[in-house]
Amino acid sequence: MIIEKKILFITGSYPPDVCGVGDYSERLFNALKKHGGLFELFYKKNWSLSSLFLYLKEIKSKKADLIHIQYPTEGYGYSFLPLLLVAFLPKKKIIVTIHELSNRTFKAKMFTMLLLFFSKKIIVTNETEYVYLKKLPILNRKETFIINIGSNIPRSKNCENNILERKIDLAYFGHIRPIKGLESFIAVANQFCDRKKCAIIGQNLVRYQSYLEELQNESACIGYLLNGSVKETADNLSDCKIVYLPFPDGVSSRRGSLMAAALNGCVIVTTYSDEKEINDFFEKYCYLVHNEDEAEKIIAKLLNGNVCTDKNVSELMDLFSWEEISRKHFDVYFGKLTNNRL
C-alpha cells in the first residue's frame, strides 16, 4: 500500500506508561506503520498549559495532512491543553478517537464534546458510544465511525493449553483502579479461594496504590500478579481456566481485557450489557450474568468439571485483529468507507 499523506498520531500516554489507551495507541501505531508511509508519533509527558505555543509550533512544523488524536489518556490528566491544541489547528485535518464519553462525569463530557466539535471526523470504539454521540445536537452531523479495539496483550505460545491443565482456576484481568468491578470479583472469588487458586492479574497505577492495598486486605487468599511484561501477562492468562470480568456497565467490544482473555483461550464469565444486540453477540462466546450470585453459580458449575464449553471464545479474536483494525483506519483516513457503522 502506497501512502501519500503524512499522518501525525497524537497521544498523551504511550508504553511504558500504565494506560490502556496508551497501550492501544502503540499497537495501532505499529500496525499502521507496517503498511509503510508517513506516520509520525507526537507523544509528550508534560501537558501543562504553558506548553501550548511550543507544541503548536512543533505540530505545525510537521506539515501533516491529517492529525489523529487519541483521547482521553492517563497522560493528559485533567489538562485543557488537548482542547486548546485542537482549537488552534486546522479543523479539516483533525480526527479524534474517543475511547470514553457516555460514562464520564458531566464536566468531562462537556470538555470532550468541545474537543469533538473542533474535529472533522470522529472514531468511537463501540456501538453504544456511537448511539450516544449521535443523540447530541452539536455532534450528530459529524462524520462518525465505529472501529473496535484489539487486544493490547499478545497471544501466548501456551494459549492452546488444555483448560484442565491450567493452574489458575479463577482470575480477574485489568488495571487496578476503582469502578472496574474488582470488588465484585473479590466477593465471588472469596467463595472459592480456600480450595481453588484465584488471582488478580494486571497493572496498578501509583495514584491508586492505597486502593490496591485496601483490596489486598479484603482478599488475603487471592494471589496478585501485577505489572508483568506483555509476554508475562499473556503467559499468566494462558494459565487461567476462567476469567471473571464483572464490568459495572456491561460487556462491550471496547473491553481490551476481555479480548486478551479470549486471545489466550480462557473461559470468560462477564456481565450483561443494557443493549440486547450486544448481549446477543457476546453470548455466543461468553457466559453472561446479571449479578454476583449468578456468577458464583456458573463458575461453580464450570469448576466442578464442566469447563469443556461450547462457547467459541477463540473465534472472537478473529474479529478483532490489528490487521483488520488498521485497515478500517486507512478507510477513514482516505475516505474509502461506504458505511460509517463498521
Q: Where are the domains of the chain?
A: 6-150+321-334, 163-319
Partners of residue 71 on adjacent β-strands: 98
- As given in the structure block, the three cell numbers for residue 164 are 484442565
Give per-residue pLDDT as tens, 192-237. Answer: 999 999 999 999 988 999 999 999 998 989 999 999 999 999 999 9
Q: Is 158 helix (H, G, I), strand (E, B) or coil?
A: coil
Q: Please tell me the predicted confidence (pLDDT) of residue 306.
A: 59
Identify the CA nearest to 245 among candidates 197, 292, 193, 297.
Answer: 292
Rounded to 5 degrees, what are φ and ψ at 80? -85, -5
Q: Please tell me the predicted confidence (pLDDT) of residue 43.
A: 97
- Exposed (0-12), middle (13-18) or buried (19+): which is 107, by Cβ within 10 Å? exposed
Question: Rounded to 5 degrees, what angle do the CA atoms 167, 150, 11 make?
Answer: 120
Q: Please tell me the predicted confidence (pLDDT) of residue 322.
A: 86
Task: Judge contact between 278 and 128, C-beta under 8 A.
Answer: yes
CATH number for the domain formed by residue range(s) 6-150+321-334: 3.40.50.2000
Q: Please tell me the predicted confidence (pLDDT) of residue 211.
A: 96
Architecture of domain 163-319: 3-Layer(aba) Sandwich (3.40)
Dist CA 15 CA 241 (whole Å):
28
Dist CA 176 CA 50 (whole Å):
31
Look at residue 3 and tell me whether its pLDDT is greater than 80: no
Backbone Cα Rg of the chain: 21
Dist CA 62 CA 40 (whole Å):
9
Average pLDDT over residues 144-148: 93
Dist CA 203 CA 233 (whole Å):
10
Give per-residue pLDDT as tens, 292-337. Answer: 999 999 999 999 875 556 788 777 776 777 888 998 999 999 876 4
Task: Judge contact between 260 and 232, C-beta under 8 A.
Answer: no
Task: Name the region of 265 (left: φ>0; alpha: ψ -120 to 50; beta: rest).
Answer: left
Q: How many C-beta atoms lie closer than 10 Å to residue 197's C-beta?
A: 18
Identify the CA nearest to 129 among candidates 115, 113, 153.
Answer: 113
pLDDT band at 166, cuts 50/70/90?
A: very high
Look at residue 121 and tell me whether its pLDDT is greater than 90: yes
Question: In the 8-state DSSP scheme, what is residue 262?
Answer: H
Q: Please tell me the predicted confidence (pLDDT) of residue 341.
A: 45
Average pLDDT over residues 41-65: 96
- As given in the structure block, the three cell numbers for residue 16 are 511504558
Task: Judge contact between 256 and 25, C-beta under 8 A.
Answer: no
Spell out where 127-256 has E strands: 143-146, 168-176, 198-204, 223-226, 240-245
Identify the CA nearest to 264 among candidates 305, 198, 317, 213.
Answer: 317
Average pLDDT over residues 277-282: 91
